[in-house]
Amino acid sequence: MLEVNGLVKRFGGFTAVNNVSFKVDEGEILGLIGPNGSGKSTIFNMLSGTLAPTSGSIVFAGHEIAGLAPHRIINSGIGRTFQIPRPFRRLTIFENVALAGFYGQGRHSRARAEEAAERSLAMVGLPTDRHASVDGLGAAGLKKLELAKALATAPKLLLADESLGGLDEAEMDQAADMLRNIRDELGITIIWVEHIMGVLMRVVDRVMVLDHGEKISEGLPSAVAGDPRVIEVYLGTDAETTQAAAAEARRRAGG
């Protein structure tokens, strides 16, 4: 469904993403992990059109989309969330999502947009009341709103950017389950960028690990969690935490 080949992004002399290639199959959840500054968000920004790649190709559903304007990419069926929620505070919760439903589907029909808004809000568990203000939402609520906005654009591929930062453990599990539900019930393929390895490993089908803009490992969660390169590079130098995290990841992935 998505095929990325030799993707490169340079900012001046700095190479943020260096020759990364990967594939995403229809209906799978691909986890994308890596330390801060490893290029995860840059890849997301190129997939969603916020940044134009320096070189490389991104083929989505048979079409080259590298360098297209963001709204064209969104209309072609890729939805995204932002790492830090970016709600429109001048609009109500419902209007936020209806806006995405109106413009994101590329159909510009108000009735369809409102329908999509109700469906998406219900899916993520936010009130479908038309007057509720964004100001009342906490961290978890804002993440849900972010997800509802992306869902309202009727994506075939959802790019979920570090959607669990700032949540407690129960909320994290809930959010992870939600992503799996979105895949299972709506059939949406997902690429999920996340810092928190444990929760991610439980839900994803495959994991790709980045470091300094390069792909260093890819495969099943259990295999990647045991990869010494991943343990060394991604999980850092503190041996004890590293071991514990890897064990936790394996346990979760296995169970």
CB of 107 to another protein, least distance (A): 10
Q: Which residues of 168-188 are buried (b: 16+ CB within 10 A; e: fewer)?
A: eeebbbebbebbeebbeeeeb
Interface with another protein, residue 75, by CB under 8 A = yes
Residues 6+ apart with CB under 8 A from 150: 79, 80, 81, 100, 158, 159, 160
Residues 6+ apart with CB under 8 A from 232: none
Question: Of 8-16, 73-81, 179-187, 208-216, which segment contacts another protein by CB under 8 A?
Answer: 73-81
Interface with another protein, residue 240, by CB under 8 A = no
User: In the range 31-70, which residues lie near another protein by CB under 8 A?
Assistant: 48-50, 69-70
CB of 170 to another protein, least distance (A): 14
Q: Which of 11, 89, 181, 243 binds another protein (CB under 8 A)?
A: 89
Interface with another protein, residue 230, by CB under 8 A = no
For residue 164 the two structure tokens come to 């669990």
Q: Which of 14, 111, 131, 255 binds another protein (CB under 8 A)?
A: 131
Q: Which of 133, 181, 241, 243 binds another protein (CB under 8 A)?
A: 133
Residue count at the site for another protein (CB under 8 A)?
45
Q: Are 176 and 252 in contact (CB under 8 A)?
A: no
**Whole-angstrom distance, CA of residue 145 vs CA of residue 81:** 9
